[in-house]
Structure 1
Amino acid sequence: LTVDSYPSYTPILHRAIEVWYHDPAVTTPVLKLMAELAQSRSQRLLFDVSSPNGYLLFREVSKVIDSYGSRILTIGEVPKDQVYTMKLKGISVCFSMLKAALCGNYVNFGVFRLYGDNALDKAFGMFVKLLLSVSQRDLMDYPKLSQNFYSLLECLANDHMAFISSLEPQVFLYILATISEGLTALAYKWSSIQDTMVCTGCCATLDTVITYLFKNLTIKKKKRNHMQQNEAFLRILELHPEILQQMLSTVLNIIMFEDCRNQWSMSRPLLGLILLNEEYFNKLRDSIIASQPPDKQQAMVQCFENLMSGIERSLHTKNRDKFTQNLSLFRRDVNDSLKAANGQSPTHCTQFLDMMS
């Protein structure tokens, strides 16, 4: 089965999924085949400018995801020891397949809406349904599922933020909750490469969301006439400020008190979180300072002052880079201060972060 011959043979694959959707011995190989077909490793999927194959391939991917997803969601309760094989593995491959198709650079996705083709909308819609059928616990318990989901989510945030911002409130809040959970991936018993990849991907996704939010809030203050979907997106976060505050607390806690192996990635969303939650950040800072022994409090005050020294209220690249440099020195100075604080355990300080969460 090659890219040139796939239109002739994909009906067989669709039919196999329709008939044996409940049998992973059939569906898993079929889904993996389609995922591999959609994968453009080393830009192997290069079509002529007059070729429609890129669009046709994505339509087939969308059909497979929609066909499998709509059927697998109809199965009843699955025993815990079989849930991954029977359900979650197929969903994981669907996430991988969609990510490969979205990031393959062989489709101009604006064409679908321009010509009234709902293939992209159907793929996005099924992604949401599949995601909501997976609990956060399962999402973090199965490394392959987690990696495929967060990789897809990063792709969606980078290239399809308009879709993310237009989601129903409960869906958008659920996605934010999964990002928050993914930031603590280092706590799960995966390999160091796996947990770092998930955590780094979550940081990148969160940074994109925060940047989008910050820019739209800035525009909103300057212009009264604003897109309705952005208004809804902003309203969700205004009604639930505790979500971003929790993420700010989590990221700051990891940088200050844990073995942070991806400090640069953590620094990118942290600046936006601080700028969007300045009052909360000030309270968090004061609590951390108050947790120090009296003779060490001034040193901690200086650490926080140095962190924000020279930082403007913007997310321009130059300002981000300056903050990243400050954060590196901040982490070093905080660690030195904690080590010198008469053997005080960093865990003692994290209690205040937990209280602020």
Structure 2
Amino acid sequence: MYQSLSDLVGISDETTILKVFVSKILLNLRYWSDHEVVLEPTLKIFGELASSFTAMKRLLTLEDVKFMLANHTPTSFRFLSTASSSSLSRYRSEFYAYLARLMLVTLSGIGPDDNRPFLDFLAPLTIVANSLISNLLISVILNIDDCVGIFLPENCSISPEEARSNVIGLARDLAGVAFSLNTMASFQHFLDWFYPSLFSLFGRALELWPYDSHVTCPILKLLAEIANNRNDRLKFESTLPIGYLLLAEMTKILNNYGPRLIPFFSQVSEDNTYVHKIKPLRRYLDALRITLSEKYANFAIFGLVGDNSFEKSVKLSADMLLCVTDAELKSFIKLSKSYFALLEILTQNHMELLSSLDSSILRRFFSAIVIGVESLDSSVAWSACSCLDSILTHVYKLLYPVISPTTNGTSNGNHPNGSGMLNNHEQSKYPIFVPSPPSSLPTSEIAQAARQRLTACITGGVPMRGCCSALAIWSDRTEAGNANLKRDFLRQSSVGGVSEFTVTSRHLMITFLASFMNEECKNQWSISRPLLGLILLNQDYFSNLQRFTLNAVSPHQRAELEGIFGKLMDGVENNLFAKNRDRYAFFSIDKKVN
């Protein structure tokens, strides 16, 4: 190959070839980047060249690459200018992702403690950020005839429109940088630079342009990227409280911004639905999901220290999901993915809080799940099945609580009057709880708060032992949530004698069984998980359904179908423990394949 290149163009080694490619990339980015047809493939080639550690080490030896790392400014690259079109602005994140990837290789060569190359790389962005902080954090918002006007003081160096463009550009640039910082050391450098000034800046920007999706979407995407615990990059040293600080800032911004969107979404016209509702709502749901799901801080600590910001975020998540209509769930696949991804987090980790809210909220989510499980998109159907499985598991534990632990831990009690509370025999297995033990040593405020909560539970008439499990973040909502479910969601109706939940769950069971028997089912594993819960909650109906189905087929098929129904529950116990779930999922898929 090199001999052919040498004969044709006089190039005889790979370094020279790399120089030619990088020189052309730099030329295109500097002088032709205002043409999307040139910018897009140029960045694609740049990304492919910077795709491996060895290749990036070679790139860093080239002067053109050093120039890009030191001069990524609007004067050097036209598409970074605030005057560039919005279609070109979206490529900024990709450009900075590749630059940050190269900068990360530089950091790896000098050690994780030296942040000088990192700060030098961010110097152009620091100038923009400081200019915005100096101007936007002292701006004034006036509402005149329901129109938001932004008035900057006379001594400000930028106009409102220039400030808006700079905010959009800075958010896109930093999103690209944050995306490529996948190591704990590099991301700590980034957060040390970002916190707290940039949180204040972008929180202020959401206040100034709350309904401008061109501003809010890049900011929400940036915040979601910062809270993304990719490769465990947010697991810092145990002496650093960065996780809690990050979670506190995220919840503050989202809690301040979200309530303004709910009334606005209800006023959006049908013609502007996608730009002014679907797109910003999807970004907001993604930011909420990542904030509530990434395990970089213990959420329960908020309740102990009297901070209700996390609780507000979970409630706000439910309110934001209620803004999505059935028609929008069916029409916008990306919105459906964000919707069910967030709902999956809520149903898996926060069912106690969801059930303690108004019963209409859980009804709405249950009806949305029915739409989701029938979606043609496999990822949407998978998430909806996971949501359904979490709700069914919660309901099953409520209706058939564990009465006493067994020796092998693989069976559920099903006593109708069981409450799951510890009886006297079980209480004797635990040490006696002393609310205020005598001691001359001082007790931390958090430990005092924990004892106060335990004491309040016991003296309030709730038979709960003194243990750390009773301090779970939603433990004080369990009783109210269970009462809500039994009273409003699971109560039998006067017409027909069955609850709304039972009617819907039976419909889903028929849908799942039909999918297994008659269709090419692509989500066998995800469907099998909630199907077991549906069968256990409707065992009599399932038996009647078997008889009806057997009577509906021809006699020569009846024996085979009866064998299939028998094998479906073969070896499966009447509980929803993990081992039993896995056994049922394996058996159901195995019988489907056979």
TM surpasses 0.5 = yes
Mapped partners of 2:481, 2:262: distance in 1:
29
Matched, 1:171 2:368: no
Task: Specify the alignment match of 1:222 in structure 2.
Answer: 418
Mapped partners of 1:93, 1:293: distance in 2:
53
Task: Specify the alignment match of 1:192 in structure 2.
Answer: none
Q: Return the index of the structure with the highest Cα Rg.
A: 2
Mapped partners of 2:516, 2:503: distance in 1:
20
Shift, 1:205, TM fit: 2.1
Task: Specify the alignment match of 2:509 in structure 1.
Answer: 248
Task: Specify the alignment match of 1:308 in structure 2.
Answer: 569
Task: Specify the alignment match of 2:581 in structure 1.
Answer: 320
Q: Identify unmatched segments of 5+ residues in structure 2.
A: 1-173, 175-189, 402-415, 422-461, 463-478, 492-498
* 8 Å Cα contact 1:285-1:304 kept in structure 2: yes
Q: Identify unmatched segments of 5+ residues in structure 1.
A: 187-194, 334-357
Task: Specify the alignment match of 1:347 in structure 2.
Answer: none
Task: Specify the alignment match of 1:90 in structure 2.
Answer: 280
Name the structure with the higher helix share: 1
C-alpha RMSD of the superposition: 2.1
Instruction: Label 1:119 to 1:71 Cα distance change in 2 as closer, same or farther (>3 A).
Output: same
Mapped partners of 1:232, 1:29: distance in 2:
39
List aligned pairs for 1:229-268, cutoff 5 A. Answer: 229-235=481-487, 236-238=489-491, 239-240=499-500, 241-268=502-529
How many pairs were matched up? 325
Which stretch of structure 1 is more off in the superposition, 259-268 or 217-226? 217-226
Q: 1:290 aligns with which of 530, 541, 551?
A: 551
* 8 Å Cα contact 2:314-2:346 kept in structure 1: no
* 8 Å Cα contact 2:568-2:587 kept in structure 1: yes
Mapped partners of 1:56, 1:166: distance in 2:
28
Runs of at least 4 residues off by over 4 Å? none
Mapped partners of 2:309, 2:345: distance in 1:
18
Which stretch of structure 1 is more off in the superposition, 195-204 or 321-330? 321-330
Amino acid at match of 1:203: C
Q: 1:138 aligns with which of 306, 328, 331?
A: 328
Amino acid at match of 2:237: D
SS at match of 2:570: coil
SS at match of 2:197: helix
Q: 2:213 aligns with which of 17, 21, 24?
A: 24
Provide, for residues 316-357 of structure 1, a one-character-per-residue CA deviation record: whole Å limited to 9, x for no partner. Answer: 334323322432344356xxxxxxxxxxxxxxxxxxxxxxxx
Matched, 1:161 2:351: yes
Mapped partners of 1:237, 1:42: distance in 2:
42
Shift, 1:228, TM fit: 3.7
Task: Specify the alignment match of 2:43 in structure 1.
Answer: none
Task: Specify the alignment match of 1:184 in structure 2.
Answer: 374
Instruction: Label 1:281 to 1:114 Cα distance change in 2 as closer, same or farther (>3 A).
Output: same
* 8 Å Cα contact 1:158-1:208 kept in structure 2: yes
Shift, 1:224, TM fit: 7.7
Mapped partners of 2:331, 2:340: distance in 1:
14
Matched, 1:73 2:326: no
Question: Which structure's relative contact order is higher, taking Cα pairs within 8 Å and 6+ residues apart?
Answer: 1
TM-score, normalisation: structure 1 = 0.84
SS at match of 2:196: helix
Matched, 1:13 2:202: yes
Mapped partners of 1:106, 1:325: distance in 2:
33
Instruction: Label 1:313 to 1:69 Cα distance change in 2 as closer, same or farther (>3 A).
Output: same
Provide, for residues 59-102 of structure 1, a one-character-per-residue CA deviation record: whole Å limited to 9, x for no partner. Answer: 22222222332222232532323212101211111111121122
List aligned pairs for 1:16-55, cutoff 5 A. Answer: 16-55=205-244
SS at match of 1:326: helix
Mapped partners of 2:268, 2:224: distance in 1:
25
Which stretch of structure 1 is more off in the superposition, 260-269 or 157-166? 157-166
Matched, 1:201 2:383: yes
Mapped partners of 2:583, 2:319: distance in 1:
41
Mapped partners of 1:321, 1:224: distance in 2:
24
Provide, for residues 189-228 of structure 1, a one-character-per-residue CA deviation record: whole Å limited to 9, x for no partner. Answer: xxxxxx2111112222222222222222222632386834
Mapped partners of 2:420, 2:297: distance in 1:
35
SS at match of 1:222: coil
Mapped partners of 1:178, 1:297: distance in 2:
36
TM-score, normalisation: structure 2 = 0.52
Task: Specify the alignment match of 2:300 in structure 1.
Answer: 110
* 8 Å Cα contact 2:354-2:481 kept in structure 1: no
Provide, for residues 132-169 of structure 1, a one-character-per-residue CA deviation record: whole Å limited to 9, x for no partner. Answer: 11102202321221111211222222222322332321
Mapped partners of 2:532, 2:504: distance in 1:
16
Matched, 1:119 2:315: no
Mapped partners of 1:35, 1:68: distance in 2:
14
Shift, 1:170, TM fit: 0.4
* 8 Å Cα contact 1:17-1:67 kept in structure 2: no
Identity of aligned residues (%): 35
Amino acid at match of 2:380: V
Task: Specify the alignment match of 1:338 in structure 2.
Answer: none
Q: 1:273 aligns with which of 528, 531, 534?
A: 534
Mapped partners of 1:209, 1:74: distance in 2:
29
Mapped partners of 2:390, 2:381: distance in 1:
14
SS at match of 1:207: helix
Mapped partners of 2:230, 2:356: distance in 1:
31
Mapped partners of 1:38, 1:328: distance in 2:
37
Mapped partners of 1:72, 1:321: distance in 2:
42
Mapped partners of 1:159, 1:230: distance in 2:
16
* 8 Å Cα contact 1:69-1:91 kept in structure 2: no
Mapped partners of 1:10, 1:120: distance in 2:
17
Shift, 1:11, TM fit: 1.8
Amino acid at match of 1:3: L
Shift, 1:28, TM fit: 1.0
Provide, for residues 1-45 of structure 1, a one-character-per-residue CA deviation record: whole Å limited to 9, x for no partner. Answer: 632223112222122111211111111111111111111111111
Amino acid at match of 2:419: K
SS at match of 1:67: helix
Mapped partners of 2:572, 2:226: distance in 1:
47
Matched, 1:61 2:250: yes
Instruction: Label 1:147 to 1:317 Cα distance change in 2 as closer, same or farther (>3 A).
Output: same
Instruction: Label 1:269 to 1:8 Cα distance change in 2 as closer, same or farther (>3 A).
Output: same
